[in-house]
Structure 1
Amino acid sequence: MDMNYNTGYVEVVDISINGQMRIKNFVGASYYKGGEIIDFKVGVINLYPSPLVFSDTANKLTAIGCDDTASLITIFPLAVGGAQTSACTTVCINGMINGSCTGMGCCESSIPKGLKTIYTLTSSYGNYTDKSVSVFSPYSYAFLAEQGTFTFNVHDLNDTSFKNKTQNNVPVVVDWFVGEDETCEQARLNRSTYVCQNNTNCTDFHGAVGYHCSCLPGYQDIDECASPHNLCSHICTNIPGSYKCSCPEGHRGDGLKNGTRCTSNHSRFVMGLSLGVTFGVLALLTMIWMSFTLYTRNKLKQKREKFFQQNGGLLLKQRLSQHPGTMESPKIYSLDELKTATNNYSEDCILGKGGYGTVYKGVLSNGCQVPLLVYEFISNGTLYEHIHKNKGVTSWLTWANCIRLASEVVDAFAYLHSAASIPIIHRDVNPPTYY
């Protein structure tokens, strides 16, 4: 026999200060096929040892089926007056009415007082062998239901999801009380455990041994937590004359809307971890950027040094050292010095443009403003040295090259002196010192 059993726990749906609460349901069910029972479950709800009993005034034993007797049985603990049962019978005939639960497809029965454990189950007196019955439905259900929350529909007889829907949507009402196993007279003897305090009245609970507390005439128990104006952000607990706010388990804070509210410990950990990862990534990116910048600068410095050496920089320094302090000795200007003097080659510093390039106005670091020609040093020697092969220079000039150079120079001067629309007389013709 399968048990649709609550294992000692019930899910509370609603609770009120008038001594009642609503819990989720557990349904007994059976399924017949070919005159045999295929599936059978007993619905069990156990309220023991809580100070709760099933309400005999708010609940009804309800059954759905076509050839069934629905039974409610209590075994332990025994109800007042011994074991108690309740039952009702259903049949199916043409003309069943939606909303009617008087025996045709649906039946109801009252339950005894003081029940704490119930078993709801169905049994078929004909095992659904009558074809006139089996055409309606092979299913049967038995459950306790709060009056007014379940309405019978003929389609329920063949709805395979009926049990789950009923367990989720049709509640069971239970009565709660205080001072279990004590009457008001017995409870008053121990003031440290007596619940009913000032401005209250104690009445014995007749469904079981216990009592209720109620306000005296002219007083009322105000549930501040029910007010939309309470300041709790999460959990509100009503206390005599006031209320207190708190946070769920795993959270911290004062639980107040105008305070620190409630923060998940997990959220704080995730936030801390996220901040740590973020700062770590930023630090790593900063280190990578600084390393890349330093690497780029070093590579540029190495390239400049290599370029300086490849283009006779060391030879130029050596030659300059041979003529210290002479006016003829050219100065070596670095690229940074030229950029600074010309304001990074600004267009505002341009004086003119010609065939050899752009002429800039520049101011040196010492404040001088003297006309200068800046050349890139080439270490192959002067044209004069190549023509006369001085100082052991291995010249690339052949006699044919010399004649070609002279002819081209003459052609150039002939153009300047004669062919130009305005003759240009050039009086300073000489090979550069360094070529």
Structure 2
Amino acid sequence: MSFLAAVLVLSAVISFAPTAAPSKSNYPIAKPNCDDHCGNVSIPFPFGLTPDCSLNSDFFINCATSIDGSPTPLLGHGNLRVRRISIEGQLIVMKHIAKYCDEGNSPQDKSSWIRLSKQYVNQTANKFIAVGCSTTATVLGEDNGRSYQIGCIATCNRFQGVPNGTCSGIGCCQMNDIPIVTRNLNFKLETKATKTDGIITDCSYAFVVKKDEFHFSSDMLTQQWEVQRMPMVIDWVIFNDTCSNSGRTCQGNTTCVPFEGPDGGYRCACEKGYEGNPYLHPGCLDIDECADDGQNDCSSKNATCFNTLGGYNCTCKAGYIDDAKGGGCQLPIKYECKDNNGKGCHSSNRVNFVAMGVALGMIVLLITVFSLYWEHRRRKSVQMKEKFFRENGGLILQQRIVQGGASSSTTRIFTAQELEKATNNYDQTKIIGQGGFGIVYKGHLLDGQVVAVKRSKIMDTTQVEQFINENKDKASVLPWSTRLRIATETAEVLSYLHSAASPPIIHRDVKSVNILLDNDYTAKVSDFGASRLVPQDKTQLTTMVQGTFGYLDPEYMQTHHLTEKSDVYSFGVVLVELLTSKRAISFDGPELERNLSQHFLSLLKENKLFKILDGNILCQENITEELQEVALLAKRCLYFKGDDRPKMKEVAMELGGLRRATKHSWANNSETSIESQALVMKQSISLKDHLELPLSSRYGR
């Protein structure tokens, strides 16, 4: 071979030899001749610091100079500071917080908002926080006609006992997740600053923040918090386009991922086995899994790694063979077989060894398959139990028990084994009733308590929703006479608290959940934790707002003046619930129907009352006039001004008159019986004396 030929052959070998893929840190992130940093923030394409360096104007980053002279990246031409850009589709920006301090003529920056044109606020990576001692904070979101409003209340009356690291409502409250995909957010404060023990400041704060970047400290209540901005996560996408047109944006070795938003859009991502910037030519580059970074498992299989495009292969090392199980490589097995005479085994003996090996392998395989099957059954059973637990409100009940929302001494969650033991393994002799999807058994707990246990007839996933909703189905046929009696008895108790108790008592948290029913549907008013005593020389109290959304007196929320008419308004909402079997607040339907009392008053004004009444009670005869009278009474209770509302004594008398007119049996109306009922109520809360259900559970809530 001539010298020239040798050189040509050597050149060909070199040109076709595989080259090592560049490390991930060496991958370019910006277009050629474009800066890829603003200060210490990386700016990956499709973002850029000039129009030529970005995909389009939606991805322009303005590298401005801050007051201290340092470069600061701003989104577009606005003032939204960018802290980090993720090529996977997220931006972390620094957003102003809403802040208010009661300091005379100091600026009142009670609200903060964000308006995004081509990005979305991330639904799950953020949370809404309010900090303060008398603070009501709300966040409003809107996009393409869809809107929502959520909020929380933070209260405290002394510095001692304010827990660090948790936002449970004492000094700090929070709402996790953003309900809808939105580009517009507005969060604002409503606060009444009151000095308590001289330590707590008069400042309140509200903001949306990245979940893992805020930890509450009680120090925020004792001194002004100097933080002006908090990090928020927003999503970016290739806007107003679909994956069918992604070929001009998504480069080589990439895939298009559609974005589930109201305006569509998509993102580009590297295919498996590739990495880099999927938007930057020539696209994602092959990962060398055989490099010394632990991305392959060949060494554990006694094999050598060979890199391939988008993956790798493991080849057995010299002296090893494939183990025929697909799990790796092994050394060849040498068999030495001799008969009783010391001679080599006959072919029949070798066959026996092979047969024994095959049989042993089959046994091991069967045991493995059987074990995997039972493990699968066990996991599926556990998952199904957890699913039922969640769907039946178990997590919410558990959380309320832990946080004190339900009495820990009277509320328990039982295991399936405990219920089986209580019902003697669901003995047929203990059946006390049947429903469309379940059977009710009488049970006895170890402490002697008698309980009712409802069990599904058929363990069929298609029937889960019907079984869960059967309380609602049964409650919907609750006769009007019973509902009227519940309303009358509740009104009598509140009338006694306002007019006969000395000093008078304002309940302050009247709602359907706090009206308990025993086995005879006798109403008992519960939960006096928020109640206030009214001095004899006063008719109103000035307090921080406390109560439940949907039941709160709007005049009380504006003036902070608590009167007995605040209970009247809340009772009016309960009356509407009894008439309609609907929730006081619901986010399931149209926006105009989310607040029950407002929707009810709107239909009543349009003379469309029967459009909202429960259809099951409308089917009952000769009660149309009663329903109209109760509806008008509810309307009077819901007047905005407290002075225009009737007193609870008048409400109780009107409801009592309706009951007597319909010739239904009802309890003694004397003040003595009312006082006895109010006193019995404290005992009826405990499961030791009565098995009671909240009124709301009778209506499937």
TM-score bin, normalised by smaller chain = 0.3 to 0.5
TM-score, normalising length: structure 1: 0.43
TM-score, normalising length: structure 2: 0.27
Higher helix share: 2
Where relative contact order (Cα < 8 A, 6+ residues apart) is larger, the structure is 1
Q: Which has the larger radius of gyration?
A: 1
